[in-house]
A and B are shown apart, each in its own frame.
Chain A
Amino acid sequence: MSDPVPLVDYLVLTGQPHLTAHECTACGARYFDRRNACAACEADTFHTVDVPTEGELRAFTIVSYAAPGIPVPFVAGVVDCGGTSVRANVVNVSADPEHVRVGMKLRLTTVPLGTDAAGTEAVGFGFEPAG
Chain B
Amino acid sequence: MAENVWILGIHMTKFGKHPDLDTVDLGAQAARGALSDAGLHMRDVGVLAAGNLMRAAASFGQQLQKQIGQTGIPVFNVANACATGATALRVAIMAIRAGETDVGLAVGVEKLSGAGLLAGGTAQQQGDTWSPQGRFGAVAPIDGRIGTETMPGVFAQIGMEYGHRYGGADFELFARISEKNHAHSTLNPLASYQKRFSLEQIMNEVRSWSPTRTRGRCARPTVTVAPRRSWSASRSCAPSRSSSSAGPSRSAPRC
Query: Are A and B associated in one complex?
Result: yes
Task: Report the Cα distance A56→B145, complex, angstroms.
Answer: 19
Closest to B155 in A: A61
Task: Report the Cα distance A74→B141, complex, angstroms.
Answer: 16
Given contacts A59-B158, A116-B130, contact A66 B150 (CB under 8 A): yes
Given contacts A8-B136, A102-B164, contact A61 B210 (CB under 8 A): yes
0/1 per residue, B174-209, Cβ < 8 Å to A? Answer: 000000000000000000000000000000001111
Q: Which of A64, A89, A111 contacts B208 (CB 8 A)?
A: A64
Is B212 in the interface zone, CB < 8 Å from A? yes
Task: Report the Cα distance A62→B212, complex, angstroms.
Answer: 9
Task: Report the Cα distance A70→B141, complex, angstroms.
Answer: 10
Task: Kindly provide the distance from the CB of A4 to the nearest chain B CB, expressed in whole angstroms.
Answer: 9
> Which residues of B199-239 have CB atoms within 8 Å of chain A's CB atoms?
206-212, 227
Is A39 in the interface zone, CB < 8 Å from B? no
Q: Which of A58, A59, A67, A88 contacts B143 (CB 8 A)?
A: A67
Query: Are B144 and A61 closer than 8 Å at their CB atoms?
Result: no
Is A120 in the interface zone, CB < 8 Å from B? yes
Residues of A within 8 A of B144 (CB): 63, 66-67, 69-70, 74, 76, 89
Give the interface centre of B136, B139, B148, B211 by most chain A CB atoms within 10 Å: B148
Query: Are A7 and B146 closer than 8 Å at their CB atoms?
Result: yes
0/1 per residue, A1-37, Cβ < 8 Å to B? Answer: 0000111111000000000000000000000111100
Task: Report the Cα distance A9→B128, complex, angstroms.
Answer: 19
Task: Report the Cα distance A109→B204, complex, angstroms.
Answer: 35
Is A103 in the interface zone, CB < 8 Å from B? yes
Q: How many chain-A residues does the 8 Å CB contact rule pick out?
A: 41
Given contacts A66-B150, A122-B139, contact A60 B160 (CB under 8 A): yes
0/1 per residue, A28-51, Cβ < 8 Å to B? Answer: 000011110000000000000000
Query: Are A77 and B147 closer than 8 Å at their CB atoms?
Result: yes
Query: Are A8 and B130 closer than 8 Å at their CB atoms?
Result: no
Task: Report the Cα distance A103→B165, complex, angstroms.
Answer: 11
Query: Are A102 and B160 closer than 8 Å at their CB atoms?
Result: yes
0/1 per residue, B156-177, Cβ < 8 Å to A? Answer: 1110110110000000000000
Q: Measuring CB to CB, which residues of chain A are less than 8 angstroms from any residue of chain B?
A: 5-10, 32-35, 58-67, 69-70, 74, 76-78, 87-89, 97, 102-103, 111, 113, 116-118, 120, 122, 124-125
Given contacts A35-B135, A62-B207, A89-B146, could you give 13 more A-B pairs where the C-beta distance is less than 8 Å?
Answer: A9-B136, A64-B208, A65-B117, A65-B150, A76-B157, A77-B147, A78-B157, A89-B144, A89-B147, A102-B160, A116-B130, A117-B129, A122-B140
Closest A-B pairs by Cβ, 4 of them? A9-B137, A70-B144, A61-B156, A76-B148
